[in-house]
A and B are shown apart, each in its own frame.
Chain A
Amino acid sequence: MNSNRYLIFLGCSTPYRVSSYEISSRKVLAKLGVELVEMPEFNCCGLPFDPVSHETMLILAAKNLALAEKEGLNILTLCPGCAGTLRKVNRILKEDKTQRDMVNSHLKEADLEFKGTVETKHLLQLLKEDVGIEKIKASVTNPLTALKVAEHNGCHLLRPKEYFDFDDPEDPETLNALIEATGATCLDYIDETECCGAPSVGVSDKVALQLARDKLNHIKMVDAQALITVCPFCHIMYDTNELRIEKTFNEVYGIPIIHYPQLLGLAMGLTPEELAFGDLRVNPQKVINLAQGAHINHE
């Protein structure tokens, strides 16, 4: 299959709460020559239902895969949760006939069938494997050399490692390399690969906020000017809750939470407006200034 043409699977949380992630991803991918085809229809990937019904998760993921199979295109997701689920279920159903027969008996009700003919990649994996770091470097017209940022990968992008073989969950390198490709410095910090806490929201907000606070403390410790995310849930967890965490625990951060494609977009010379920086809750102005300041010096 053509590796420059993908069916984009948006999932639920990005269009629901993080359109800045979708807007900036589409802009950046267009510049890199990746063609996106819209799904004719889709539903929840299934992940949120795994805790209550594994069967539901398998059926929903397989339904989406079957819809993509009809289009004959591989899937690109912006959400690590969607990517992880679609990859995992694709593999389970290809290997386990009993589960595949069970799922297909359900899909038959909607005239669909899972065959196992498409693959799924997350944005980060696509940028690394199909576009390539060199091409991304070549697309940079405004190196962000004045910026020092921290990365947050998101668990489902890397774990369980059995289903994600493109990076090491204990010491991931991809996002770091992609950040450095923009000219920015990517700083290391303690417990970099730890969970943001988002999945615990709604069960225990107290625990969830403490997890995010712990990470923000470690990020602050290394004087990062921004935190770079590649997951809508992680982004919501930090961007929406940073102020609440500051108030609850009497902390001061002021760390903007930026989607990786927004960072790359700035380095490509796109404007903050084009990249929907205005949608961010934590004011990103200082990052924009540093990015544009570097631009002026560069010229």
Chain B
Amino acid sequence: MAEQAAKPSSQKEPIKASELDPKWKYELQKLHGAEGLMRCFQCGTCTSDCPVARFTDNYRPRTLIHMAQLGLKDRVLKSDTLWLCSACFTCTDRCPQDVEVASVIRVFRNQAAESGCVPQVFRDQAQSLIETGYAFKIPELRLKKRESQGLPPLPKGNPESVRKVLKGVKFFEPKQEPIPNEQQ
């Protein structure tokens, strides 16, 4: 019972046949990284070896894969637990079925992000990227300090050319509300 209570809302509600998208799994299989989705036979190696799953009852890679196989598209893409994966690739390396679990999770995240469902931290990095070319805004003081530390100047980030090459990439179009940090 305690286990059930700990499950996130995306897995608690009874499943209605009307919310299933039976074609989603076939769409996913055509995407780079998710080709192996249907090879998963639910052995649970990914979840049992997942370092994040040891410290939260909310994140279960096997469950997410199963939900996708069933066609629970909205539940997967709107699940905030999707973003807990630390991309350590242990599941990918140990999966006996070569599902490339971490890459399938990444495909879920990409689809969620396209629909505007993404934690704030990724938006901040995107903002920094298009402004500076780097993933973080490196303070001017830090750049100046390099000289006194005997370091050569940091090569320029050339944000103009970053903006040019990212023209037409979906994620850099206007977005909806972010998912808050679990602690906030």
Contact = CB atoms under 8 A, between A and B. Distances in A.
Interface in A155-198: 155-156, 159-161, 169-170, 194-195, 197-198
B83 to A, nearest CB: 5
Interface in B62-110: 83-84, 86-90, 92-93, 100, 102, 106-107, 109-110
B42 interface: no
Nearest to A205: B183
B60 to A, nearest CB: 13
B17 interface: no
Contacts of B84: 200, 203-204, 207
B104 to A, nearest CB: 12
A94 to B, nearest CB: 15
B92 A160 contact: yes
B61 to A, nearest CB: 14
A16 B100 CA distance: 32
Interface size range on A against B: 35 or more
Contacts of B90: 155, 159, 195
Q: What DSSP secondary structure best describes chain A's contact surface?
A: helix
Contact of B126 (A17, A40, A52): A52
A159 B166 contact: no
Contacts of A195: 51-52, 86, 88, 90
Contacts of B150: 23
A211 B164 contact: no
A214 B32 CA distance: 34
A106 B166 contact: yes
B135 interface: yes
Nearest to A199: B86
Interface of A: 10, 12-13, 15-17, 19, 22-23, 26, 38-44, 48-56, 59-60, 63, 99, 106-107, 109-110, 112, 155-156, 159-161, 169-170, 194-195, 197-200, 202-208, 210-211, 214, 276
Interface of B: 32-33, 51-52, 54-56, 59, 83-84, 86-90, 92-93, 100, 102, 106-107, 109-110, 113-114, 118-122, 125-126, 129, 133-136, 138, 142-143, 145-146, 149-152, 154-159, 161-162, 164-172, 181-183
